[in-house]
Structure 1
């Protein structure tokens, strides 16, 4: 390569870096679209609407405008962000569903790792194993013992084929060494009713929508997390019930299109960490059955890679047909 060519390339590179730095310094100068892959009213939507104004405060008051684009696997929302300009004005609420979709679908219109800039994690969602309050099972050990005594006769419920909840049941069967029938429902209210009436002997769901029923129609058998959830200190972990290898937690965070200038990614990450540390945000999240969780961008990227591999293994072992 000639000296002129090298100098030209160096000048072009320096010019691009200067433009990126300038963009980062002036960011944001207009509203930011925050795209969610599910409808309004769910826990993920509530979290986004809780933290969006706080993030906005740290970004000079520029609003984060939430845009709900529900679809199977959150694919429509993720594709919209993957194809957007990497200028920081289009963000994605990335979730566990993004990882399960990568495991469940034979092909996606984007690469879950390469087509995104990972900004940072926002929260983790605890799951819960619940049974009818007036049912025969007082603890998880009792349910497992009954399933071993009557292979295939116990019904376990979840929602959404290929969802984290569904795959958590398949993992539970494997770790507990039991045979059971998995029944998938279209919605959480249907699942809760099936648990309460004994149509299924236990249900597996994220904690937030089940919490209001615990102590009423439902009994919490265990939470598959490393430690007890602070809002339900009376419910043991699955490790305490004899399954130390059974841990399932959902999570979410923020991604942007690949190629986002580092300065913008760093600023957004700082805002996530700042907001996650706010006591009022933490208290409200815990009321929803959610724990605040923040960290560096690499931690979210590593989590996504690990979760895709984990769910891919669950799908393969359970023999679930990919979509």
Structure 2
């Protein structure tokens, strides 16, 4: 408390009473307790409410279905709703901006993939995850397949390569839209093998399948998830898998390397990123939770049926993969002469 006194000389002065010694001790103990428990209190506070995962994929796409399976399980294990929002468009930039413009508190996060890495080199005004986001955890990966119609004359990828060399400019490869992972995989194949083949982009898996069965293209490059119906129906023949190892669902199908295509180990991937500066406690909680889910036999089986390999990747390693993919696909885009959008 304070009181006003009048000392000798008549000047008025303000005197402030100091707290007693035991009060100083109490205040010090309270301050120390706050320091010691602050980290535990923060850790216990995440999550406290709904988590939103923003995806660049359209509803019903294989990667969208995969994410919804993961989100449903996260809701159960994290004890808060985990909802999925679809924001397709501009090669994933729309979805990414939705996340970076939201509060950086860990409650709005992004579903990212190869398209995110590709976009850094593909767009004039790119979104760069290395500068604007934080890695949380890698979730899955999947290879692409080179397929042809069951009625095609090509019984192997080697036969297709031989025909392309014998008749330059005549053969066509169908892919998803320009700049997507499977589109660039097809371009990389033609560059590596020095083939004059026309790569034709289509808007989605349904159009690709129709084009192949109608013989508008000779070969299609797509993920297993977008082809499994036609594979099981016996409508298409699988010529090669783009990963370094054979796919156990297609054990008789050789890899690209086994058919003379060098330096062609391509797997696409999906995972979670958050806005730059999101709380580390949120990163840790999400990473630990998702990693545990991806090790569950039921999750592994569900992902496999969709064509994905459940593969948890720690956030530091996931950041390194993003960096490597940005460099790799940037080189392909430059070599193919693709104009920035």
* TM-score, structure 2 normalization: 0.86
Report how far residue 21 of structure 1 moved.
5.8
Find the partner of 1:39 among 46, 53, 58: 58
Report how far residue 177 of structure 1 moved.
2.1
- Tell which deviates more after alignment, 206-215 or 90-99: 206-215
Gaps of 5+ in 1: 1-14
CA distance in 2, matches of 1:140, 1:31: 48
Equivalent in the alignment of 1:196:
213
Preserved contact between residue 231 and residue 289 of structure 1 (Cα < 8 Å) = no
Gaps of 5+ in 2: 1-33
Superposition RMSD in Å: 1.7
Equivalent in the alignment of 1:126:
143
Alignment of 1:197-276 (within 5 A): 197-215=214-232, 216-276=234-294
CA distance in 1, matches of 2:106, 2:141: 24
Report how far residue 111 of structure 1 moved.
2.8
CA distance in 1, matches of 2:36, 2:223: 43
1:58 maps to 2:81 = no
Local SS of the residue matching 1:240? helix
CA deviation profile, 1:166-191 (whole Å, cap 9, x unmatched): 11111010112211111111221111
- Tell which deviates more after alignment, 305-314 or 189-198: 189-198
1:81 maps to 2:99 = yes
Preserved contact between residue 113 and residue 270 of structure 2 (Cα < 8 Å) = yes
CA distance in 1, matches of 2:157, 2:305: 24
Preserved contact between residue 46 and residue 285 of structure 2 (Cα < 8 Å) = no
Preserved contact between residue 244 and residue 266 of structure 2 (Cα < 8 Å) = no
CA separation of 1:256/1:144 partners in 2, compared to 1, >3 Å: closer, same or farther? Answer: same
Find the partner of 1:180 among 183, 191, 197: 197
- Tell which deviates more after alignment, 138-147 or 75-84: 75-84
Find the partner of 1:290 among 308, 317, 320: 308
* TM-score, structure 1 normalization: 0.91
Equivalent in the alignment of 2:115:
97
Number of residue pairs aligned between Structure 1 and Structure 2: 307
1:138 maps to 2:155 = yes
Local SS of the residue matching 1:301? helix
CA deviation profile, 1:258-299 (whole Å, cap 9, x unmatched): 112222211111111111111111111111111111121011
CA distance in 1, matches of 2:244, 2:123: 29
Equivalent in the alignment of 2:169:
152
Find the partner of 1:26 among 24, 42, 45: 45
Runs of 4+ aligned residues of structure 1 deviating over 2 Å after TM superposition are: 15-25
Local SS of the residue matching 1:298? helix
Report how far residue 24 of structure 1 moved.
2.9
Local SS of the residue matching 2:323? helix
Local SS of the residue matching 2:148? strand
CA deviation profile, 1:9-40 (whole Å, cap 9, x unmatched): xxxxxx99986764332111111111111221
Report how far residue 57 of structure 1 moved.
2.6
